[in-house]
Copies of this chain bind each other. A is one copy, B any other.
Protein backbone atom coordinates (compact mmCIF):
# COMPACT_ATOMS: atom_id res chain seq x y z
CA UNK A 1 0.00 0.00 0.00
CA UNK A 2 1.26 3.48 -0.82
CA UNK A 3 1.50 5.54 2.37
CA UNK A 4 2.25 9.16 1.50
CA UNK A 5 4.50 10.13 4.40
CA UNK A 6 7.87 11.82 4.54
CA UNK A 7 11.15 10.19 5.59
CA UNK A 8 11.88 8.83 9.06
CA UNK A 9 12.01 5.64 11.11
CA UNK A 10 8.55 6.23 12.63
CA UNK A 11 7.05 6.58 9.18
CA UNK A 12 8.92 3.51 7.96
CA UNK A 13 7.08 1.63 10.73
CA UNK A 14 3.77 2.92 9.44
CA UNK A 15 4.74 1.73 5.94
CA UNK A 16 5.60 -1.72 7.37
CA UNK A 17 2.23 -1.81 9.14
CA UNK A 18 0.40 -0.76 5.99
CA UNK A 19 2.10 -3.59 4.08
CA UNK A 20 1.13 -6.09 6.81
CA UNK A 21 -2.48 -4.88 6.82
CA UNK A 22 -3.01 -4.79 3.09
CA UNK A 23 -6.73 -4.49 2.36
CA UNK A 24 -7.52 -4.40 6.09
CA UNK A 25 -6.38 -0.76 6.20
CA UNK A 26 -7.28 2.48 4.43
CA UNK A 27 -5.54 5.90 4.32
CA UNK A 28 -3.04 5.11 7.06
CA UNK A 29 -0.88 8.11 6.25
CA UNK A 30 -3.21 10.83 7.54
CA UNK A 31 -3.49 11.82 11.19
CA UNK A 32 -7.26 11.41 11.13
CA UNK A 33 -9.88 9.00 9.90
CA UNK A 34 -12.51 10.77 7.85
CA UNK A 35 -15.95 9.19 7.41
CA UNK A 36 -18.61 10.62 5.15
CA UNK A 37 -21.99 10.61 6.97
CA UNK A 38 -24.80 12.22 4.94
CA UNK A 39 -23.36 15.61 3.89
CA UNK A 40 -20.89 15.82 6.75
CA UNK A 41 -17.35 14.57 7.18
CA UNK A 42 -16.84 13.03 10.60
CA UNK A 43 -13.18 13.25 11.57
CA UNK A 44 -11.74 10.99 14.29
CA UNK A 45 -8.19 10.92 15.60
CA UNK A 46 -6.44 9.15 18.48
CA UNK A 47 -3.26 10.25 20.21
CA UNK A 48 -1.26 8.50 22.92
CA UNK A 49 0.70 10.33 25.65
CA UNK A 50 3.04 8.07 27.60
CA UNK A 51 4.97 8.84 30.78
CA UNK A 52 8.76 8.86 30.23
CA UNK A 53 8.15 9.27 26.47
CA UNK A 54 5.96 12.36 26.11
CA UNK A 55 6.26 13.75 29.63
CA UNK A 56 7.69 13.24 33.09
CA UNK A 57 5.66 13.62 36.26
CA UNK A 58 8.08 16.22 37.67
CA UNK A 59 7.62 18.45 34.63
CA UNK A 60 3.86 18.86 34.75
CA UNK A 61 1.12 18.30 37.29
CA UNK A 62 -1.56 15.72 36.50
CA UNK A 63 -4.10 18.29 35.39
CA UNK A 64 -1.57 19.69 32.92
CA UNK A 65 -0.78 16.16 31.70
CA UNK A 66 -4.48 15.64 30.96
CA UNK A 67 -4.77 19.04 29.33
CA UNK A 68 -1.72 18.58 27.12
CA UNK A 69 -2.66 15.09 25.92
CA UNK A 70 -6.16 16.21 25.01
CA UNK A 71 -5.10 19.47 23.36
CA UNK A 72 -2.52 17.58 21.26
CA UNK A 73 -5.28 15.28 19.98
CA UNK A 74 -7.66 18.18 19.32
CA UNK A 75 -4.93 19.78 17.22
CA UNK A 76 -5.37 16.94 14.70
CA UNK A 77 -8.92 18.18 14.13
CA UNK A 78 -7.62 21.71 13.53
CA UNK A 79 -5.35 20.33 10.82
CA UNK A 80 -8.41 18.94 9.00
CA UNK A 81 -10.45 22.14 9.37
CA UNK A 82 -12.91 20.30 11.60
CA UNK A 83 -14.91 21.62 14.56
CA UNK A 84 -14.60 19.55 17.74
CA UNK A 85 -17.66 17.54 18.75
CA UNK A 86 -16.35 15.34 21.55
CA UNK A 87 -13.41 13.79 23.36
CA UNK A 88 -12.90 10.28 24.79
CA UNK A 89 -10.01 9.67 27.16
CA UNK A 90 -8.59 6.24 27.98
CA UNK A 91 -6.27 6.37 30.97
CA UNK A 92 -3.93 3.74 32.36
CA UNK A 93 -3.00 4.77 35.89
CA UNK A 94 -0.25 3.28 38.08
CA UNK A 95 -1.21 1.24 41.16
CA UNK A 96 0.10 4.03 43.37
CA UNK A 97 -2.32 6.62 42.00
CA UNK A 98 -5.52 7.68 43.76
CA UNK A 99 -9.04 8.47 42.61
CA UNK A 100 -8.13 12.15 43.06
CA UNK A 101 -5.13 11.73 40.75
CA UNK A 102 -7.41 10.33 38.05
CA UNK A 103 -9.89 13.14 38.64
CA UNK A 104 -7.04 15.66 38.18
CA UNK A 105 -6.00 14.14 34.85
CA UNK A 106 -9.59 14.18 33.67
CA UNK A 107 -10.15 17.74 34.93
CA UNK A 108 -7.29 18.78 32.64
CA UNK A 109 -8.80 16.82 29.76
CA UNK A 110 -12.14 18.50 30.41
CA UNK A 111 -10.58 21.96 30.43
CA UNK A 112 -8.84 21.30 27.11
CA UNK A 113 -12.13 20.06 25.64
CA UNK A 114 -13.91 23.18 26.89
CA UNK A 115 -11.23 25.46 25.41
CA UNK A 116 -12.05 23.89 22.02
CA UNK A 117 -15.79 24.22 22.55
CA UNK A 118 -16.51 20.58 23.34
CA UNK A 119 -16.87 18.04 26.16
CA UNK A 120 -15.59 14.70 27.42
CA UNK A 121 -18.09 12.07 26.26
CA UNK A 122 -16.49 8.93 27.65
CA UNK A 123 -13.34 6.89 27.91
CA UNK A 124 -11.84 3.91 29.63
CA UNK A 125 -9.98 3.36 32.90
CA UNK A 126 -7.31 0.78 33.54
CA UNK A 127 -4.34 0.05 35.71
CA UNK A 128 -0.90 0.33 34.10
CA UNK A 129 2.77 0.34 35.02
CA UNK A 130 3.06 4.03 34.15
CA UNK A 131 0.70 6.83 33.25
CA UNK A 132 -0.62 6.58 29.74
CA UNK A 133 -3.38 8.63 28.20
CA UNK A 134 -5.01 7.96 24.90
CA UNK A 135 -7.17 10.88 23.78
CA UNK A 136 -9.64 10.30 20.96
CA UNK A 137 -11.24 13.33 19.39
CA UNK A 138 -14.30 13.52 17.18
CA UNK A 139 -15.00 16.43 14.90
CA UNK A 140 -17.12 17.43 11.94
CA UNK A 141 -16.06 19.35 8.87
CA UNK A 142 -18.18 20.78 6.08
CA UNK A 143 -15.14 21.02 3.83
CA UNK A 144 -12.30 19.01 5.38
CA UNK A 145 -8.75 19.75 4.28
CA UNK A 146 -6.19 16.96 4.09
CA UNK A 147 -2.44 16.77 3.59
CA UNK A 148 -2.92 16.12 -0.08
CA UNK A 149 -4.10 18.88 -2.38
CA UNK A 150 -1.17 21.30 -2.55
CA UNK A 151 -0.09 22.24 -6.07
CA UNK A 152 2.96 23.92 -7.58
CA UNK A 153 2.69 27.65 -7.06
CA UNK A 154 0.96 27.46 -3.68
CA UNK A 155 2.33 29.57 -0.85
CA UNK A 156 3.26 27.72 2.34
CA UNK A 157 2.20 29.45 5.54
CA UNK A 158 2.40 28.76 9.25
CA UNK A 159 0.30 30.07 12.14
CA UNK A 160 1.76 31.44 15.38
CA UNK A 161 5.39 31.03 16.39
CA UNK A 162 7.59 27.94 16.57
CA UNK A 163 10.10 26.53 19.02
CA UNK A 164 8.43 27.48 22.31
CA UNK A 165 7.60 23.88 23.24
CA UNK A 166 11.17 22.84 22.41
CA UNK A 167 12.56 25.58 24.66
CA UNK A 168 10.47 24.18 27.54
CA UNK A 169 11.40 20.57 26.74
CA UNK A 170 15.12 21.34 26.69
CA UNK A 171 14.86 23.19 30.01
CA UNK A 172 12.95 20.28 31.59
CA UNK A 173 15.50 17.77 30.28
CA UNK A 174 18.36 19.86 31.66
CA UNK A 175 16.66 19.97 35.08
CA UNK A 176 15.86 23.68 34.78
CA UNK A 177 12.48 25.39 35.07
CA UNK A 178 11.46 26.76 31.66
CA UNK A 179 10.37 30.38 31.45
CA UNK A 180 6.65 30.89 31.87
CA UNK A 181 5.88 31.50 28.19
CA UNK A 182 7.74 28.39 27.04
CA UNK A 183 6.17 26.31 29.80
CA UNK A 184 2.73 27.45 28.68
CA UNK A 185 3.47 26.40 25.09
CA UNK A 186 4.47 22.94 26.29
CA UNK A 187 1.86 22.38 29.00
CA UNK A 188 -1.16 23.95 27.35
CA UNK A 189 -0.95 23.91 23.55
CA UNK A 190 -3.72 25.79 21.72
CA UNK A 191 -5.37 23.63 19.07
CA UNK A 192 -5.93 26.00 16.14
CA UNK A 193 -9.49 24.83 15.51
CA UNK A 194 -10.95 28.20 14.48
CA UNK A 195 -7.87 29.03 12.42
CA UNK A 196 -8.13 25.74 10.53
CA UNK A 197 -11.74 26.42 9.63
CA UNK A 198 -10.93 29.99 8.56
CA UNK A 199 -8.12 28.80 6.29
CA UNK A 200 -10.35 26.10 4.76
CA UNK A 201 -13.07 28.66 4.10
CA UNK A 202 -10.46 30.86 2.40
CA UNK A 203 -9.31 28.18 -0.01
CA UNK A 204 -6.62 26.10 1.77
CA UNK A 205 -5.34 23.40 -0.58
CA UNK A 206 -3.59 21.21 2.03
CA UNK A 207 -2.98 21.47 5.74
CA UNK A 208 -1.71 19.65 8.82
CA UNK A 209 -0.80 20.46 12.38
CA UNK A 210 2.85 20.63 13.39
CA UNK A 211 3.70 17.88 15.82
CA UNK A 212 6.96 16.32 14.61
CA UNK A 213 8.81 19.48 13.55
CA UNK A 214 8.52 21.59 10.43
CA UNK A 215 10.90 19.52 8.25
CA UNK A 216 9.14 16.26 9.05
CA UNK A 217 5.62 17.64 8.79
CA UNK A 218 6.34 19.53 5.57
CA UNK A 219 7.63 16.18 4.26
CA UNK A 220 4.20 14.63 4.88
CA UNK A 221 2.46 17.44 3.04
CA UNK A 222 4.92 17.12 0.14
CA UNK A 223 4.54 13.33 -0.04
CA UNK A 224 0.74 13.40 0.18
CA UNK A 225 0.40 16.21 -2.36
CA UNK A 226 3.12 15.09 -4.77
CA UNK A 227 4.95 18.41 -4.69
CA UNK A 228 8.26 19.75 -3.44
CA UNK A 229 7.89 22.06 -0.47
CA UNK A 230 10.53 24.78 -0.27
CA UNK A 231 10.93 26.52 3.10
CA UNK A 232 13.07 29.60 3.63
CA UNK A 233 14.16 29.16 7.22
CA UNK A 234 14.80 32.89 7.72
CA UNK A 235 11.05 33.37 7.33
CA UNK A 236 10.12 31.06 10.22
CA UNK A 237 8.28 32.86 13.01
CA UNK A 238 10.28 32.02 16.15
CA UNK A 239 8.80 32.05 19.63
CA UNK A 240 10.62 34.55 21.96
CA UNK A 241 11.55 31.76 24.39
CA UNK A 242 13.10 29.83 21.51
CA UNK A 243 15.12 32.87 20.42
CA UNK A 244 16.49 33.14 23.92
CA UNK A 245 17.20 29.41 24.27
CA UNK A 246 18.95 29.31 20.89
CA UNK A 247 21.12 32.35 21.61
CA UNK A 248 22.02 30.95 25.06
CA UNK A 249 23.31 27.85 23.29
CA UNK A 250 25.02 30.03 20.60
CA UNK A 251 22.67 28.58 18.02
CA UNK A 252 20.51 30.02 15.25
CA UNK A 253 16.97 30.73 16.47
CA UNK A 254 15.33 29.68 13.21
CA UNK A 255 17.18 26.35 13.22
CA UNK A 256 16.32 25.81 16.88
CA UNK A 257 12.66 26.45 16.02
CA UNK A 258 12.74 24.31 12.87
CA UNK A 259 14.02 21.33 14.85
CA UNK A 260 11.40 21.66 17.58
CA UNK A 261 8.28 19.53 17.68
CA UNK A 262 4.91 19.74 19.41
CA UNK A 263 4.17 23.34 18.51
CA UNK A 264 0.67 22.39 17.32
CA UNK A 265 0.55 25.29 14.89
CA UNK A 266 -0.89 24.80 11.41
CA UNK A 267 1.18 24.38 8.25
CA UNK A 268 -0.96 25.20 5.26
CA UNK A 269 -0.63 25.45 1.48
CA UNK A 270 -2.71 28.37 0.18
CA UNK A 271 -3.28 29.24 -3.47
CA UNK A 272 -0.96 31.90 -4.90
CA UNK A 273 -3.86 34.38 -4.84
CA UNK A 274 -3.69 34.31 -1.04
CA UNK A 275 -1.33 37.19 -0.25
CA UNK A 276 -0.32 39.52 2.52
CA UNK A 277 -3.69 41.26 2.58
CA UNK A 278 -5.47 37.95 3.12
CA UNK A 279 -2.96 37.09 5.85
CA UNK A 280 -3.71 40.41 7.55
CA UNK A 281 -7.43 39.54 7.47
CA UNK A 282 -6.62 36.18 9.09
CA UNK A 283 -4.58 37.87 11.80
CA UNK A 284 -7.35 40.34 12.60
CA UNK A 285 -10.02 37.63 12.69
CA UNK A 286 -8.02 35.07 14.67
CA UNK A 287 -5.74 37.27 16.80
CA UNK A 288 -2.91 35.01 15.64
CA UNK A 289 -0.02 35.60 13.26
CA UNK A 290 0.16 33.92 9.84
CA UNK A 291 3.58 33.87 8.18
CA UNK A 292 4.53 32.92 4.66
CA UNK A 293 7.56 30.64 4.94
CA UNK A 294 7.85 29.06 1.54
CA UNK A 295 6.18 27.67 -1.56
CA UNK A 296 5.28 24.49 -3.43
CA UNK A 297 7.01 23.41 -6.64
CA UNK A 298 6.99 20.52 -9.09
CA UNK A 299 9.07 17.73 -7.57
CA UNK A 300 9.06 15.93 -4.25
CA UNK A 301 10.43 16.19 -0.74
CA UNK A 302 11.34 19.23 1.32
CA UNK A 303 13.98 21.81 0.40
CA UNK A 304 15.07 23.83 3.43
CA UNK A 305 16.97 26.98 2.54
CA UNK A 306 19.13 28.87 5.02
CA UNK A 307 21.22 31.83 3.85
CA UNK A 308 20.66 30.70 0.31
CA UNK A 309 22.00 27.16 0.83
CA UNK A 310 20.24 23.87 1.22
CA UNK A 311 20.13 22.37 4.72
CA UNK A 312 19.14 18.93 6.06
CA UNK A 313 17.39 18.70 9.43
CA UNK A 314 15.78 15.91 11.39
CA UNK A 315 12.69 16.35 13.51
CA UNK A 316 11.84 14.52 16.69
CA UNK A 317 11.07 10.85 16.17
CA UNK A 318 10.09 8.21 18.72
CA UNK A 319 11.63 5.43 16.66
CA UNK A 320 14.89 7.00 15.47
Residues of B within 8 A of A110 (CB): 20-22, 24-25
A120-B86 in contact given A44-B136, A46-B46, A127-B53 (Cβ < 8 Å): no
Residues of B within 8 A of A125 (CB): 10, 13-14, 318-319
A38 at the interface (CB under 8 A from B): yes
Least CB separation from A85: chain B residue: B35
Residues of B within 8 A of A45 (CB): 88, 122
Task: Please tell me if the beta carbons of B20 and A128 are within 8 angstroms of each other in the complex.
Answer: no
Task: Please tell me if the beta carbons of A132 and B52 are within 8 angstroms of each other in the complex.
Answer: no
Task: Please tell me if the beta carbons of A120 and B24 are within 8 angstroms of each other in the complex.
Answer: yes
- Distance in angstroms from A106 CB to nearest chain B CB is 5
- Total contacting residues, chain A, CB less than 8 A: 73
A102 at the interface (CB under 8 A from B): yes
A205 to B99, CA, bound (A): 33
A113-B47 in contact given A12-B99, A37-B140, A92-B53 (Cβ < 8 Å): no
Residues of B within 8 A of A47 (CB): 90, 124
A241 to B218, CA, bound (A): 55
A132 to B132, CA, bound (A): 9
A138 to B44, CA, bound (A): 8
Task: Please tell me if the beta carbons of A21 and B106 are within 8 angstroms of each other in the complex.
Answer: yes
A32 at the interface (CB under 8 A from B): yes
A103 at the interface (CB under 8 A from B): yes
Residues of B within 8 A of A120 (CB): 21, 24-26, 28
Give residues of chain A (170-207) contacting chain B, Cβ–Cβ below 8 Å. Answer: none
A54 to B24, CA, bound (A): 25
- Distance in angstroms from A6 CB to nearest chain B CB is 15
CB-contact partner of A126 in B106, B123, B318, under 8 A: B318
Residues of B within 8 A of A246 (CB): none
Task: Please tell me if the beta carbons of A86 and B33 are within 8 angstroms of each other in the complex.
Answer: yes
Residues of B within 8 A of A102 (CB): 13, 16-17
Residues of B within 8 A of A53 (CB): 92, 126-128
CB-contact partner of A50 in B19, B32, B37, B127, under 8 A: B127
A310 at the interface (CB under 8 A from B): no
Residues of B within 8 A of A85 (CB): 35
Residues of B within 8 A of A318 (CB): 125-127
Task: Please tell me if the beta carbons of A21 and B121 are within 8 angstroms of each other in the complex.
Answer: no
A10 to B91, CA, bound (A): 12
Least CB separation from A39: chain B residue: B38
A-B contact pairs, 5 of them (CB 8 A): A10-B125, A17-B106, A25-B120, A46-B88, A47-B124
Q: State the A residues within 8 Å of B (CB).
A: 10, 12-14, 16-17, 19-28, 30-33, 35, 37-40, 42, 44-48, 50-54, 85-86, 88-92, 99-100, 102-104, 106-107, 110-111, 113-114, 119-130, 132, 134, 136, 138, 140, 318-319
Give me 8 other A-B pairs in contact (C-beta within 8 A), A25-B110, A46-B134, A48-B128 excluded: A28-B123, A37-B42, A42-B138, A44-B121, A48-B132, A50-B92, A50-B126, A125-B319
